[in-house]
């Protein structure tokens, strides 16, 4: 069945998302969902400032007598770098944690170094065993599901909780935010806390036994959230967070360098988002990001449309990156092409704990935990 | 005059990079292909890659893996580990490696001479592992510090240079991985004994240590592992390298 | 098409890599017919002078190289030992070189140095451009390259000297006459400095 192409008249979301719905004015559901989410979660003016101050003092209070006030997962990207910068400026005693999955770009590593040096943060790095990680990642690639990033995202969550436990830290400051990431279609993402899903795909397509890969079981998920009560603080929702201003400020104050695309601090993420997703799965994640920026007033629809016409990759860079990825993964060009050409699958096509996690989230929200 | 070289050393073990302390307790540091890619982007002067279990496991170098790693570098690489004959050396050079490093074969003077005759002395490096003796002085070892060559470093250095080695890496086992500073006396002793470039190794912890090895130890170059790979009190893995401008300023008084 | 001459004494992989990084293709060849069709040539080399020269003789390529380079004036870049082979002779051995330059190769101990120098000359060093050519134009300020050699080139004609470097004393780190270029250092292992040089050569 051929769906006729349609693009939202307010944002730039379009029918590359199979679940999109439009009203009579051609405005898509994501626009309205953003407005609802923003009005529910984002405070304004004095109320926001008060909330922000209260969060910070709450973090400092909970950290009294302990080695650290809070924990920050730092990838070297804009959002996590900005929260590290804020923590440094506000004198929070943050423990910085970096997850090294073997795909770090030099820029990411150098950005992390600059922040750690400037504010004299203590740093922990979790270097995942490359052979194990490679095998899990490759299984996801072979399974043809769109959100391969859950492999990294899951390991990051597991690592952050484990380290928070080790140092008895109650607050994880996260770079998640509404104004630059509020819109993300379900079919383009997948919950990263689900380890059983990762295990299922790995069982089907992988061969290296999972021994040291950081993971969170369902029990662990409940344990950290409801028993240890480790709080995830989306601090960027409590300030006037503007992406281009943040990049400028980081550059001026810390010497931080931008790498040209969302999450492109990882070579792999750039490759997957700028090439595999559009090429194999038929969607461009920039649409979601730019649509969010339109809704939060950080860009205009015209600007966004213009940006979408820019190629995601230069021919030379793409060639280099394909070579690099296939080399690191140890697969041939033919294998790579075969997998790229095989039909996309959904995450739902494989086993998962999705319904339990959704239940837990509902429960958490309902009881404001 | 030429510039002082500051060289990260990467140790290969099993399927990945590790970092040791006094040659023991290897800590996993990650995937070497990506590490070399990052060092390359940082435009480091040179790299040393050592497969630390090739000889003890009595096997050849892992040629395909080395090829994958080396193809990420646009600066010279010296490779050591499991090179026991001219055939091995030829295969390694063909992969794009500039210099081969002999350690377990460091006392095979005939091999050194053969290699120098074909590839030139400048392509043949000997890595000497040295330990302090209980009652003073030093002794040279090989094979991860397990075989005592029963020779003091100056004499041994002269022997390998006479055989044809064009560069010497002088590695202090006692200082390795400790980040407590180089063994300046050791370096100075070997540097005075021969006229080939000496690379100081073992103990770099601060940028001043690098300066000392060159200025007081008379080394031509310095190498370090932990210094470029660990950060802070938790020894978090984070690849780092001083800015070229900082290095230039640091060594500008050195001739 | 850039042809890299494979005569059994070169560090070819790295050159191929750097050319690929610039976005161009190269081919490795030891076939005289392929060399005859080449638009540009690279003569690499690592090792002992006599070993290299003997390998070149064994390969049977000298006649076709003389034809391409001296008669057809095909641009050629000699690197390290490849550069040295283009001279007349070397202190390192007894075999005669290609003789494309009126120059010889001397051992570093013979350089009139006012400071003690260790041999080989190993590491990064600055290169001064003394002749304006398409290869040497528009290079980075304070260009430095990686050197690894115990013998250096000494040209009889000042007009043949392209680059100068100081190690103990000043020596010729690059030679040029018409279409023939010879560099003592390794541009393929000299990061962005080498990349620029290759870019210039490929644009010739």
Dig out the tokens for A320 from the structure.
């280099």
Strands C2-5, C26-29: pairing kind: parallel
Q: What is the pLDDT of residues A223-280, one digit of tens each?
A: 888 878 889 999 999 999 999 999 999 999 999 999 877 778 889 999 999 999 999 9
Percent of chain B with pLDDT over 90: 85
Residue A109's pLDDT is what? 96
**Is B25 touching A (CB cutoff 8 A)?**
no
Query: What order of strands is seen across the sheet that includes strand A70-73?
Result: A122-127, A94-100, A70-73, A171-173, A231-233
Provide the shortest C-alpha distance from residue C147 to chain B (in Å): 9
End-to-end CA distance of chain B: 7
Query: What is the SS3 string spanning chain B?
Result: CCCCEEEEEEEEECCEEEEEECCEEEEEEECHHHHHHHHHHCCCCCEEEEECCCCCCCCCCCHHHHHHHHCCCCCCEEEECCCCCHHHHHHHHHCCCCEEEECCCCCCHHHHHHHHHHHCHHHEEEEEEEEECCCCCEEEEECCCCEECCCCHHHHHHHHHHHCCCEEEEEECCCCCCCCCCCHHHHHHHHHHCCCCEEEECCCCCHHHHHHHHHCCCCCEEEECHHHHEECCCCEECCCCCCHHHHHHHHCCCC
Q: Where are the beta strands (DSSP E) in chain A?
A: 70-73, 94-100, 122-127, 171-173, 231-233
Chain C CB contacts of B5 below 8 Å = 122-124
**Is B223 touching C (CB cutoff 8 A)?**
no
Chain A CB contacts of B28 below 8 Å = 127, 129
Provide the shortest C-alpha distance from residue C72 to chain B (in Å): 30
Integer CA distances (angstroms), B124 to B99, B118, C46, C49, in order:
6, 10, 12, 16
Which residues of C are identified as catalytic? 80, 186, 188
Say which CATH number the domain at A110 has.
3.40.50.620
Residue B224's pLDDT is what? 95
A31 lies in a domain?
A: no
Q: Is the pLDDT of residue A364 over 90?
A: no
B84 — pLDDT class (breaks 50, 70, 90): very high
Q: What is the pLDDT of residues A5-48, one digit of tens each?
A: 999 999 999 999 999 999 999 999 999 999 999 999 999 999 99
Instruction: For residues B181-200, give the mean pLDDT.
Output: 97
pLDDT, mean over chain B? 94
Q: Is the dihedral of CA A11, A13, A15, A18 positive or negative?
A: negative
Q: Is the pLDDT of residue A369 over 70?
A: no
Dig out the tokens for B56 from the structure.
């003890």
Chain C CB contacts of B117 below 8 Å = 48, 51
Instruction: For residues B116-131, give the mean pLDDT.
Output: 94
Lowest mean pLDDT among A250-264, B31-45, B121-135, B158-172: A250-264
> Using alpha carbons only, what angle is made at residue C150 by residues C148 and C156, rounded to the nearest 5 degrees?
105
- Which residues, including other chains, have CB under 8 Å from residue B192's CB and lie 6 or more apart? B154, B218
Q: Is B68 a catalytic residue?
A: no
Contact A328 B31 (CB under 8 A): yes
The domain in which residue B113 lies consists of 5-251
Measured CB to CB, residues of chain C less than 8 Å from chain B are: 11-14, 17-18, 21, 46-48, 51, 81, 115-116, 118-125, 144, 146-150, 166-168, 186, 188-192, 194-195
Contact B15 A130 (CB under 8 A): yes
Nearest CA in chain A to B231: A123
- The domain segmentation of chain C, as residue ranges, is 2-203
Residues of chain C with pLDDT under 50: none
Chain B CB contacts of C46 below 8 Å = 93, 98, 119-120, 123
Residue A191's pLDDT is what? 81
The active-site residue out of B45, B51, B107, B129 is B129
Percent of chain B with pLDDT over 70: 99
End-to-end CA distance of chain A: 44
Contact A103 B240 (CB under 8 A): no
Q: Say how far apart CA C106 and CA C89 lie, in whole Å.
A: 9
pTM of the model: 0.94
Strands C180-183, C169-177: pairing kind: antiparallel
CB C32 within 8 A of CB C60: yes
Q: Specify which residues A28 forms β-bridges with.
A: A22
User: Which one-letter DSSP state was computed for residue A4?
Assistant: P
Instruction: For residues A339-347, give the mean pLDDT.
Output: 94
Residue A368's pLDDT is what? 60
Dig out the tokens for C204 from the structure.
């010739």
A360 lies in a domain?
A: yes
Contact B197 C118 (CB under 8 A): yes
Q: Is the pLDDT of residue A356 over 80?
A: no
Q: Say how far apart CA B63 and CA C87 lie, in whole Å.
A: 35
Nearest CA in chain B to A134: B31
Q: How many distinct structural domains can be found in chain B?
A: 1
The domain in which residue A117 lies consists of 41-366
B82 — pLDDT class (breaks 50, 70, 90): very high
Provide the shortest C-alpha distance from residue B239 to chain A (in Å): 7
Integer CA distances (angstroms), A90 to A64, A93, A118, A352, in order:
16, 9, 13, 41
Q: Say how far apart CA A50 and CA A40 lie, in whole Å.
A: 17
Integer CA distances (angstroms), B222 to B126, B201, C31, in order:
15, 6, 43
Nearest CA in chain B to C166: B1
Q: Specify which residues B144 forms β-bridges with.
A: none
Measured CB to CB, residues of chain A less than 8 Å from chain B are: 98, 100, 102-106, 109-110, 112-113, 116, 122-125, 127, 129-131, 324, 327-328
Q: How many Cα atoms occupy the beta-carbon half-sphere of C179 within 13 Å?
A: 17
Q: How many distinct structural domains can be found in chain A?
A: 1
Instruction: For residues B214-229, give the mean pLDDT.
Output: 95
Q: Is the pLDDT of residue A326 over 90?
A: yes
B253 — pLDDT class (breaks 50, 70, 90): low
Residue A263's pLDDT is what? 72
Residue A1's pLDDT is what? 55
Say which CATH number the domain at B199 has.
3.20.20.70
Instruction: For residues B227-250, give the mean pLDDT.
Output: 93
Instruction: For residues A289-316, give the mean pLDDT.
Output: 94
Integer CA distances (angstroms), C67 to A219, B149, C33, C74, in order:
77, 54, 12, 9
Which has the closest alpha carbon to B15: B3, B29, B4? B29
Q: Is the pLDDT of residue B200 over 80?
A: yes
A192 — pLDDT class (breaks 50, 70, 90): confident
Who wins on pLDDT, A262 or A210? A210
Q: Say how far apart CA A211 and CA A208 lie, in whole Å.
A: 9
Q: Is the pLDDT of residue A187 over 50?
A: yes
Q: Is the pLDDT of residue B255 over 60?
A: no
Percent of chain C with pLDDT over 90: 86
The topology under which CATH files domain C2-203 is Rossmann fold (3.40.50)
Q: Is the pLDDT of residue B8 over 50?
A: yes
């Amino acid at each position: 069945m051929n769906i006729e192409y349609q693009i939202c008249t307010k944002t730039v979301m379009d029918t590359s998302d199979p679940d999109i719905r439009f009203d009579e004015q051609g405005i898509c559901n994501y626009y309205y969902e953003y407005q609802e989410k923003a009005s529910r979660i984002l405070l304004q003016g004095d109320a926001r400032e008060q909330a922000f101050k209260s969060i910070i003092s709450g973090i400092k209070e909970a950290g009294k007598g302990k080695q650290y006030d809070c924990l920050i997962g730092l990838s070297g990207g804009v959002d996590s770098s900005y929260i590290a910068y804020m923590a440094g400026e506000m004198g929070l005693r943050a423990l910085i944690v970096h997850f090294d999955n073997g795909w770090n770009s030099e820029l990411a590593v150098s950005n992390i170094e600059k922040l750690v040096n400037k504010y004299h943060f203590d740093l922990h790095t979790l270097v995942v065993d490359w052979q194990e990680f490679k095998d899990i990642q490759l299984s996801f690639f072979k399974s043809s599901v769109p959100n391969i990033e859950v492999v990294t995202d899951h390991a990051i969550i597991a690592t952050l909780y484990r380290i928070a436990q080790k140092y008895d830290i109650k607050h994880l400051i996260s770079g998640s935010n509404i104004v630059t990431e509020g819109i993300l279609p379900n079919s383009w993402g997948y919950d990263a806390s689900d380890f059983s899903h990762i295990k299922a795909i790995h069982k089907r397509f992988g061969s290296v036994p999972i021994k040291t890969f950081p993971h969170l079981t369902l029990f662990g998920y409940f344990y950290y959230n409801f028993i240890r009560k480790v709080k995830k603080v989306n601090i960027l929702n409590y300030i006037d967070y503007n992406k281009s201003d943040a990049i400028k400020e980081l550059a001026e104050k810390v010497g931080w360098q931008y790498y040209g695309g969302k999450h492109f601090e990882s070579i792999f993420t750039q490759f997957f988002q700028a090439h595999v997703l559009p090429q194999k799965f038929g969607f461009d994640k920039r649409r979601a990001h730019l649509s969010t920026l339109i809704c939060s007033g950080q860009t205009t629809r015209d600007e966004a449309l213009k940006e979408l016409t820019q190629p995601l990759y230069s021919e030379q860079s793409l060639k280099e990156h394909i070579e690099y990825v296939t080399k690191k993964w140890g697969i041939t060009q033919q294998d790579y092409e075969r997998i790229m050409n095989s039909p996309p699958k959904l995450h739902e096509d494989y086993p998962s704990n999705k319904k339990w996690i959704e239940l837990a989230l509902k429960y958490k929200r309902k009881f404001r935990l | 005059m030429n510039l002082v070289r500051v060289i990260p050393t990467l140790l290969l073990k099993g399927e990945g990079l590790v970092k040791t302390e006094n040659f023991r307790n290897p800590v996993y540091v990650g995937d070497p292909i990506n590490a070399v890619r990052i060092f390359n982007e940082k435009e480091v002067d040179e790299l040393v890659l050592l497969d630390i279990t090739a000889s003890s496991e009595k096997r050849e170098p892992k040629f395909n893996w080395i090829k994958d790693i080396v193809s990420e570098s646009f600066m010279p690489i010296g490779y050591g580990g499991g090179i026991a004959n001219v055939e091995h050396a030829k295969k390694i050079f063909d992969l794009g490696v500039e210099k081969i490093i002999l350690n377990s074969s460091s006392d095979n003077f005939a091999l050194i001479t053969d290699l120098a005759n074909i590839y030139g002395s400048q392509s043949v490096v000997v890595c000497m592992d040295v330990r302090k003796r209980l009652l003073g002085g030093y002794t040279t070892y090989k094979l991860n510090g397990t075989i005592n060559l029963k020779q003091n470093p100056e004499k041994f250095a002269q022997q390998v240079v006479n055989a044809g080695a064009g560069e010497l890496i002088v590695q202090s086992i006692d200082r390795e991985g400790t980040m407590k500073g180089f063994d300046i006396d050791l370096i100075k002793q070997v540097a005075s004994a021969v006229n080939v470039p000496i690379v100081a190794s073992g103990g770099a912890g601060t940028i001043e240590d690098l300066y000392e090895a060159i200025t007081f130890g008379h080394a031509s170059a310095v190498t370090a592992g932990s210094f470029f790979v660990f950060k802070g009190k938790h020894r978090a893995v984070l690849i780092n390298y001083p800015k070229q401008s900082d290095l230039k300023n640091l060594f500008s008084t050195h001739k | 098409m850039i042809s890299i001459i494979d005569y059994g004494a070169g560090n070819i992989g790295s050159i191929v890599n750097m050319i690929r990084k610039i976005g161009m293709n190269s081919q490795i060849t030891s076939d005289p017919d392929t060399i005859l069709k080449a638009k540009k040539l690279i003569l690499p080399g690592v090792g002992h002078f006599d070993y290299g020269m003997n390998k070149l003789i064994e390969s049977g390529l000298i006649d076709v190289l003389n034809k391409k380079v001296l008669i057809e004036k095909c641009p050629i870049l000699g690197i390290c030992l490849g550069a040295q082979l283009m001279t007349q002779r070397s202190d390192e051995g007894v075999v005669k070189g290609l003789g494309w330059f009126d120059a010889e190769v001397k051992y570093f101990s013979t350089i009139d140095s006012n400071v003690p120098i260790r041999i080989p000359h190993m590491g990064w060093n600055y290169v001064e451009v003394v002749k304006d050519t398409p290869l040497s134009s528009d290079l980075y300020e304070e260009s430095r390259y990686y050197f690894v050699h115990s013998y250096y080139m000494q040209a009889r004609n000042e007009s043949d000297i392209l680059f100068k470097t100081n190690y103990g004393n000043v020596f010729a780190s690059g030679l040029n006459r018409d279409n023939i270029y010879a560099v003592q250092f390794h541009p393929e292992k000299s990061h962005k400095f080498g990349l620029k040089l290759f870019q210039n050569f490929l644009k010739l």
